[in-house]
Structure 1
Amino acid sequence: MDKTKKKEASVSSALSAGLFQLPFYPMTYVKVLIQAGHEPLPPFRSRSLFGREQFFYPNNFSYMRYIYSVEGLTGLYRGIGMKIISHSVATFVYDKVNLMLEETEQIEQEEKKDKNDDKFIVFIKQSSKEITARCWGVVFSHPFHVMGLRCMAQFIGGETAYSSWNIFHNISEIYRSEGVLGFFSGLIPRLLFEASTIALTSSLAYLIKTYIYEDKDIDALIDLFSSLISNSITYPLSVVSTISCISGSALMAARPPRMLLYSSWIDIFRNLYENNELKRGASSFFRVYQPPNILQATGFSLGQVPTNRAQKYLSKSE
């Protein structure tokens, strides 16, 4: 009876975590399109915080306004179903694995005579447990994550190959064009992103709390600071993972002239590094303009090809 209640509570909390994505989804959607290299709106000249004159892309809210003008309110929630399912599955698996690891740890502690572990040992165990649980959540939720990202990327070409809610339709589409491996496109950089972010966050927080400022009243602030720093460092892996999930599909967003044909996620990382684009989408405001990558063989600008929808929107704005 108790086990059933725990399971129902876990499912309920996982679904709640998925539905929590709703208010913030448009911003997530815009971030994915920017990470994929889609910049439909032209840059403008302005001054930076330090007074330097340079070109900037319109901020994320302007990008959202553009999507709204093209597809309406529902267009801002393209792929929301897959996002909710992905996040719910990840949360559910994370909770279950975490519970299993805690039970195993309790059994080990009961068998030990000396139950007082060193502070560093406790830190290692907690970090390892968090990384393990999070990575299992990522693995099980990844196929839905891929479906969600491809739903979003459809906006670039105005396609309807992937559904926001029909899982079976998406499964058929991916399996038909890429086979089983298509469901796990971009999994390795995503796992690396999650694991490295947790490791850096916990390590930085541990060092600050142990050697710099030992005050439990501000532990939450230290954790937040550590998380912000770590996410900034590991963010390039998030960009690589997003592109990897979209790359290889039959979508226009994954084909030249909007995206190169990559052989692996390492190839994506190398290309973005060479073109100084590993921070795509990291900022919602003051988005510094990056000159497009001109392909020598064809002469077109990669990733910034204007669409008819963008041209109509700009003409109306004028």
Structure 2
Amino acid sequence: MAEAASQVLLGSGLTILSQPLMYVKVLVQVGYEPLPPTMGRNIFGRQVYQLPGLFCYAQHIMKIDGKSGLFKGLTPRLCSGAIGTVVHSKVLQQYQDCDKTEELKQGSPAQQKDGPSSFDRVIKETTREMMARSAATLVTHPFHVITLRSMVQFIGRESKYCGLCDSIITIYREEGFLGFFAGLIPRLLGDIISLWLCNSLAYLVNTYALESGVSTMNEMKSYSQAVTGFFASMLTYPFVLISNLMAVNNCGLAGGCPPYAPIYTSWLDCWCMLQKEGNMSRGNSLFFRKVPFGKTYSCDLRMLI
């Protein structure tokens, strides 16, 4: 219990610190570009037109809403993080209790056949982690939807999703129970694929690419999980983008309705449209943001069309 409480406190602190970053990222993901491109240089020193980066974008928000404006949607996000941490830890604890019960019935601890690096153990642990994450995502997704809509209403200067209780009532009244789970399927798929890719790649790297018994190699193994996790998150980023777009799609806010944004019939329809437009990585980078090739800038909608 104490461990879960410390995880909640640590997670809440990280959530508060990262809130401005997520705020800007969500606005970029939905296609909101309030500032015109400027001439800059890419990583190779070549002059290119670039869209405003994280800091310029944040300064624009602060000019309109002040510093506190960067923390819109923080309350539901904190609720999501705290509840998700508790659910995640409870599910894993249930698995651990089942293992202890099984060991007591057998009379001795279960013996591992191939050691701690066996692929069977990786599958078992990954499956348990998948169930824990999926349960946490399922329970907290309504708060995630409220968080995104609280941020996106900056575009049209609405105040439809301000308080947590008012937002819950609004979603239920206008969209029913299913409205709380808009964008859930691509989010779950992205989490599951990312988890399996990360753990499988880490196992392959640690088992076949790095030799055991060498101190430097053992140190490298401790970093392989982080590296493969980053690689997996890059590959599954389109699921994150589509989930966020579906969460605000046709919700009554200017940022999720025509003429600003199209109405998608499903998350697969959203996937096809983004792929056709070449926008599957929109919002993935917040520092070096060049203007997409062949796109024009509209000052009326303040976005790329």
Give yes or no for TM over 0.5: yes
**2:159 matched residue in structure 1:** 160
Q: State which of 171, 193, 198 in structure 1 corresponds to 2:195.
A: 198
In the aligned structure 1, how far is the partner of 2:198 from the partner of 2:99? Answer: 22
**Structure 1 residue 89: deviation in Å?**
1.0
Q: Which amino acid aligns with 1:196?
A: I
SS at the partner of 2:158?
A: coil
- Write the distance in 1 (CA, Å) between the matches of 2:241 and 2:233: 12
Aligned pairs for 1:48-197 within 5 A: 48-111=42-105, 115-118=111-114, 119-163=118-162, 166-197=163-194
- Tell me, what secondary structure is at the counterpart of 1:116? coil
Measure the CA separation in 2 of the matches of 1:109 and 1:269.
47
Query: 5 Å matches for 1:217-228?
Result: 217-228=219-230
Count of paired positions? 293
**Do the aligned residues in 2 keep the contact of 1:258 with 1:304 (CA within 8 Å)?**
no
Alpha-carbon distance in 2 for matches of 1:128, 1:45: 48
Matched, 1:306 2:298: no
CA contact (8 A) 2:32 2:302 kept: no
Once the two structures are superposed, the pairs formed by residues 259-274 of structure 1 within 5 Å of their partners are 259-274=261-276
Show the 5 A alignment for 1:277-288. 277-288=279-290
Gaps of 5+ in 2: none
Cα RMSD, aligned residues only: 2.2
State the shift of 1:9 in Å. 5.2
- 2:175 and 2:54 map into 1 onto residues whose CA distance is 32
1:313 maps to what in 2?
A: none
Question: Aligned with 1:45: secondary structure?
Answer: strand
For residues 105 and 247 of structure 1, the distance between their equivalents in structure 2, rounded to whole angstroms, comes to 43
Q: CA deviation at 1:184?
A: 0.3
Structure 1: gaps of 5 or more residues: 1-5, 295-299, 308-318
Inter-partner Cα distance in structure 1 for 2:142 and 2:9:
17
Q: Describe the superposition over 1:84-109 as per-residue Cα deviations: whole angstroms up to 9, x where unpaired.
A: 11111111110111111122233334
Q: Percent identity?
A: 33
Normalising by structure 2, what TM-score?
0.90
SS in structure 2 at match of 1:20: helix
Task: Give the equivalent residue in structure 2 for 1:255.
Answer: 257
1:248 shift after superposition = 2.6
User: For each residue in 1:197-230, what CA deviation from the matched residue of structure 2 results, as whole angstroms up to 9, or x when unmatched?
Assistant: 1111101100000001143322231111111111
Contact 2:75–2:164 at 8 Å: present in 1 too?
no
**1:253 to 1:293, Cα distance in 2 relative to 1, 3 A:** farther
